[in-house]
Amino acid sequence: MNHPWLESYKTNNTPDFDTSSLSHFYNQPSHIWLDNQQLTNQAHDALDFISGSSKHGLDPTNYHFAILDKLDPSQDSLSAQQFDLLLTDGLLKLIHDLTVGQLQSTIADPDWFIPQASFDNIAFLQQALLSTHLKTELNSLIPTTSEYHKLTEVLARYQSFVGRGGWSEIPAMPLISPGDRHRHLSLVRKRLAFDDNVLVLSTKNNVQYYDPFLEQAVRHFQKKHGLKIDGIIGSETRKAMNISAQDRLQQIKVTLERHRWLPNNLGKRYLIINLANYKLKAINNGSEELAMRVIVGRKSRQTPSFTSQLNHLVFNPYWNVPRKLAKLDLLPKQQQDFNYFYQHDIRVFTIENGHRVEHDPYLINWQSITRSNFPYTLRQDPGDQNALGKLKFLFPNQWSIYLHDTSHRELFSETMRSISSGCIRVEDPVALANFSIAKPTSQQIITDMIDSKQNRGLKLTAPLSIYAVYITVWVDGDDVIFSPDVYQRDKRMAKLL
C-alpha cells in the first residue's frame, strides 16, 4: 500500500471496503472526485449512478450512498478524503454487482453450474474516468436485453405496491366458483385490483358476488402465476394471492440477480430452457424461432442449471435405464406384474467377465430381488413403448442428462411439469431436431431416420449452445408471470440477499 493514510483510514474511520482495489486509484494523496474540495461533474454522475442502483434491485446503502449523501467534503480535509474514498469504493462495488452479480453463484445456488460472468471493474473505472462523459460509460454497464429491461419496470411497479402497504391476506374460505357469494370476495377484489384496472373500474356494487368481471380477473391471475386456469378460487389460488408484495418484490430481485450471473453474450444460436416455467426457446440471431413446453426433474430428482453444447442426435433410441431408477421405479412394477418388462420391451442384462449377458425376465424370481441386491441392468428397445420416444438429444454433462421425446405426450398438458427423473422431455422433438441440424434438408433427414425404425445417430456439424436456467419471474407481452418456486432455490437465495 503506497498511500499510508488509506490503510489507517480503513482501520479508524470507514465501513468495510476493499483497500486492494482502492490502491489502484490512490498511490498518492489526491482526490478523484473533488476539485478544491468541491464535487466535480464526474462525482455528480457517480452519485446519480449509485442512487439509481435501486432500479436494479440493489440497495444504494451497500455502496455508501447514505453516508455520501450526508458528507460535506468542503468542511475539512478529512471529510474530503472520506468522501473521495467512499465514492470510489462504492462505485467499484456497484460496477461489480451490476455486471457480475452481488452473490457468488455457486454458493447462493449450489444447483447453478453455469460459469458466472466476470468483469474487470478496476480497469473499467480507470478507463471511464478518462472520458468526458462518465454517465454514458456507467450506463453502458446496464444489461441491454429486453428481458432485463422489462424486469426493471416490473420491479418499479412492485416497489410501488410495497410503498402502498401491499395487500391484505385473504382468510381461509371454501371453494368459490363463479356465481357464488362470500364476504371475503371483497378482499379478493382488492388484491386483484392492484394490477387489474378493468376489475377496478367494474367494481362498485355487489363486491361479495363472484361476477364475470371477477372471474376474468381470477383466470388472468391464475395464468400469471402458473396455476390451473379454471376460475375457481381454491387453496392454491388463495395461497398465491396471499404471497405478500414484499415477497414478490424479493422474487423479482432474485431473478435480476440470476440474469446478472449469465454470460453477457449467449451466442447467435442457442437453446434456453427455463426449468421453473417448463419452457424451451430456440433463439437465432436474437429472434425466437421455436418455443415449446418441457418436463423437468421432480423435486426429489431436480434438474440443475447448466450450460453445454448439444452435439449429437439419436433416432429411435435405446433407453439404458439409470440404475437408481431401475431399482426404485421399475423393479416394483415388475414385481407387481411379471409381464411388465415383456410388454414394455425392456430387456434384462448382467455383466459377466466383461461381457453383457441377457436374461429371460420370466426365469427370474423377482420377489427375491431387492434394491440392495439388484444385479441387473435394464434396457428398453426402440419403438412405440420407448420412454425416450423417437429422438434423444445429447450433450456433455456430469449428470448424464439429455433432452428427449416421450411416449407419454399427455403429460405436457399438466400445469406442474416437474415430474421426470432429471432428464428433460421436449414437446416437439422433430421441430427441435430441425432447428438443431439447421440444413435445407433437415426435415427429410429426420423423417428418413425415424421411419427407418433403426437406432441411428447423427453428429451435428455445428454444436448448439444450450442453457438450462431457473428463472421464476419473466415478462410475457404486457404480463409479468410468476412461477412457483418448486425447487425452493429462490427461497435459499433470498436469505442471502
- pLDDT tens-digit profile of 337-382? 999 999 999 999 999 998 999 999 999 999 999 999 999 999 999 9
Q: Specify whether 199 is located in the same domain as 331.
A: no
Give pLDDT tens digits for 113-138: 999 988 999 999 999 999 989 999 99
Q: Specify whether 17 is located in the same domain as 74.
A: yes
| Helix/strand/coil (H/E/C) assignment for every residue in 26-77 | CCCCCCCCEECCEECHHHHHHHHHHHHHHHHCCCHHHHCHHHHHHCCCCCCH
* Mean of per-residue pLDDT scores for the chain: 92
Is 404 catalytic? The answer is yes
Kindly name the residue from 64, 96, 259, 423 that is annotated as catalytic. 423
CB 53 within 8 A of CB 95: no
Of the three residues 243, 271, 288, the one that is the final residue of a domain is 243
Give pLDDT tens digits for 380-400: 999 998 999 999 999 999 999
pLDDT at 347: 97
Output the furthest CA–CA distance in the chain (Å, rounded).
Answer: 94
CATH number, domain containing residue 436: 2.40.440.10
Give pLDDT tens digits for 94-116: 999 999 999 999 999 999 999 99
Q: Specify whether 303 is located in the same domain as 360.
A: yes
Query: What is the pLDDT confidence band of residue 9, given thresholds at 50, 70 and 90?
Result: very low
% residues pLDDT > 70 (the chain): 94
Q: Specify whether 67 is located in the same domain as 15.
A: yes
Q: Specify whether 315 is located in the same domain as 434.
A: yes
pLDDT at 267: 92
Instruction: Name the pTM for this structure.
Output: 0.89
State the total domains in the chain.
3
pLDDT at 20: 75
403-404 vs 391-394, strand pairing mode? antiparallel
Helical residues (DSSP H) of 65-145, grouped into ranges: 65-70, 77-99, 105-108, 121-128, 134-139
Q: Specify whether 321 is located in the same domain as 406.
A: yes
Residue with the bigger pLDDT between 28 and 89: it is 89
> 158 in a domain, yes or no?
no
Nearest Cα neighbor of 422 from 311, 315, 320, 275 is: 275
Q: Specify whether 269 is located in the same domain as 353.
A: yes
> 147 in a domain, yes or no?
no
> 462 in a domain, yes or no?
yes
Query: What is the pLDDT confidence band of residue 264, given thresholds at 50, 70 and 90?
Result: confident
* Residue 342 Cα distances to 208, 360, 370, 379, angstroms: 58, 9, 20, 12
Q: Report phi then psi at 273, rounded to 5.
A: -115, 120
pLDDT at 58: 97
Region of 57 please: left (phi>0), alpha (psi -120 to 50) or beta: left
Give pLDDT tens digits for 130-170: 998 999 999 999 988 889 999 999 999 999 999 999 999 99
Q: Specify whether 196 is located in the same domain as 105.
A: no
Is 96 catalytic? The answer is no
Structural domain containing residue 61: 4-142
